[in-house]
Amino acid sequence: MQKTEQLIYKLRDTHSLTTEEYETLITHRTPESAGLLAAFALVQKQQIYGNDIYVRGLIEVSNICRNDCLYCGIRGSNKNCDRYRLTGEDILECCAEGYELGFRTFVMQGGEDGTFSDAFLTDLIREIKNRYPDCAVTLSLGERSRDSYAALKEAGADRYLLRHETADKSHYEKLHPANLSWDNRMRCLRDLKELGYQTGCGFMVGSPYQTDAMLAKDLKFVETFRPDMCGIGPFIPHKDTPFRDHPAGSVELTLYLLSILRLIHPPLLLPATTALGTLAENGREKGILAGANVVMPNLSPSAVRRKYMLYDNKLSDGAESAQALETLRKRMESIGCTVVVARGDIKK
């Protein structure tokens, strides 16, 4: 048996490899190893989630950001970004529309906008939970203090998504300005988990300066941190960022890593991300067929949708929009999957 094939069987049976073995699996990948991994990933997903696909309504609450991440189109120093911030009322309207459409999770994602104080957010979270007690509230608002995370949890937030971006500290420093630290990112993730959030981490595939060894570290991090969710998507350059001339990440490698992640932790919630859908024709379907089980359509008001441009050509309409949930349902059915109306918590 080939080396990669042996590693795939080992991963399927033990859900663990050494960092060096993850690297070998990545570096020596072939269409055959990708096929085997995807087949095993689908079996394990099927055993836990059947054909169910969970959907989350993504509300992009603000593109105002104090940070200056080098890869991101809404970085604070981008003068060409047309800034907006939704009001509490706007957000509640998105929830109302989303609930009607069948969403039972609302994800509030945004830049690190200083006006989203704990007081504002706790009021809003309480109101959403009050109106929709059967729904989960997910936050993705970046780095905050432990006290802040605790207050938001106390108000009713269920989940928090904060990609670790890279498990390699020196790589982290190449992707972020000096005032952001890998240690603080890790502190945030630990706090979130300890406070009882269903916690999501994640990383970009093909971000500038990334190596296979770094991706192997990301996989080992997911194996040991044991998040409830892990969001991965290809890096896509944005024309108004310092990384404008770096090439986009690989769709094929993203799919390969999705299969590996499914085998590392079979119950993991794995989204087929917008970035994947942006870069590949039927990207989300391909993601699902590689092992993903979550899709996060856009519920933001259409007037602001084009303004949340994390990267060039980011999809926001068509089947990517929440209003086109019917289209998404059909597309998922065409690959044997069913979009369910449910909170979609991790099955442990």
Identity of the residue, 204 or 216, whose beta carbon is nearer to ligand SAH in the bound complex? 204
Number of residues located near ligand SAH, criterion CB under 6 A: 18
- Cα–Cα distance for residue pair 153/131, rounded to 1 Å: 17
Longest dimension (CA), the chain: 60
344: tokens are 């979609």
By CB atoms closer than 10 A (0-12, 13-18, 19+), residue 265 is buried
What CA–CA distance (Å, rounded) separates 45 from 265? 10
When asked if residue 235 is in the footprint of ligand SAH (CB under 6 A), the reply is: yes
- Is 142 one of the binding residues for ligand SAH (CB under 6 A)? yes
Burial class (CB in 10 A: 0-12, 13-18, 19+), 328: buried
Query: Which of 61, 91, 107, 204 contacts ligand SAH by CB under 6 A?
Result: 204
Q: Stretches 14-22, 77-85, 157-165, 316-324: which one binds ligand SAH (CB under 6 A)?
A: 157-165
Task: For tokens 């500290």, name the residue.
Answer: 169
Query: Contact between 233 and ligand SAH (CB under 6 A)?
Result: yes
When binding is defined by CB under 6 A, the residue of 11, 236, 251, 322 that contacts ligand SAH is 236
Which residue lies nearer to ligand SAH by CB, 11 or 201?
Answer: 201
Judging by beta carbons within 10 Å of its beta carbon (0-12, 13-18, 19+), is residue 8 exposed, middle or buried? buried
Binding part of the chain for ligand SAH, among 14-22, 93-101, 107-115, 340-348 by CB under 6 A, reads 107-115
- Using CB under 6 A, pick the residue from 72, 94, 189, 192 that binds ligand SAH: 72
For residue 274, how many C-alpha atoms fall within 13 Å in the half-sphere facing its CB?
A: 24
Distances (CA, A) of 31 to 2, 5, 10, 274, 287: 13, 12, 19, 24, 16
**Least distance from ligand SAH to the Cβ atom of residue 208, Å:** 10
Taking CB under 6 A as the binding criterion, the range among 44-52, 94-102, 145-153, 235-243 that sits at the site for ligand SAH is 235-243
**Alpha carbon 18 to its chain's center:** 24
Residue of 165, 191, 218, 285 interacting with ligand SAH (CB under 6 A): 165
Establish if 275 lies at the interface with ligand SAH (CB under 6 A).
yes
Exposure class string for 221-250: b at 16+ Cβ within 10 A, else e: bbbebebbbbbbbbbbbbebbebeebebbb
DSSP E strands, the chain: 52-55, 57-62, 105-110, 136-140, 159-161, 198-205, 229-234, 294-295, 338-340
Report the residue number, 166 or 293, with the smaller CB distance to ligand SAH. Answer: 166
Site membership for ligand SAH, residue 218 (CB under 6 A): no
Residue placing its CB nearer to ligand SAH in the complex, 53 or 236: 236
By the rule CB under 6 A, 163 interacts with ligand SAH: yes
Nearest distance in Å: CB 16, ligand SAH:
25
Rounded-to-integer distance, Cα 107 and Cα 122, Å? 15
Q: Which of 40, 49, 54, 71 binds ligand SAH (CB under 6 A)?
A: 71
Region of 13-21, 109-117, 251-259, 279-287 interacting with ligand SAH (CB under 6 A) = 109-117
Tokens read off for 135:
């729904």
By CB under 6 A, tell whether 109 contacts ligand SAH. Answer: yes
Is 298 a binding residue for ligand SAH by CB under 6 A? The answer is no
Number of H helices, E strands in the chain: 14, 9
Least separation, in Å, of the C-beta of 170 and ligand SAH?
Answer: 18
- Residues lying near ligand SAH in the complex (CB under 6 A): 71-72, 109, 111-112, 140, 142, 162-163, 165, 204, 233, 235-236, 238, 275, 310-311
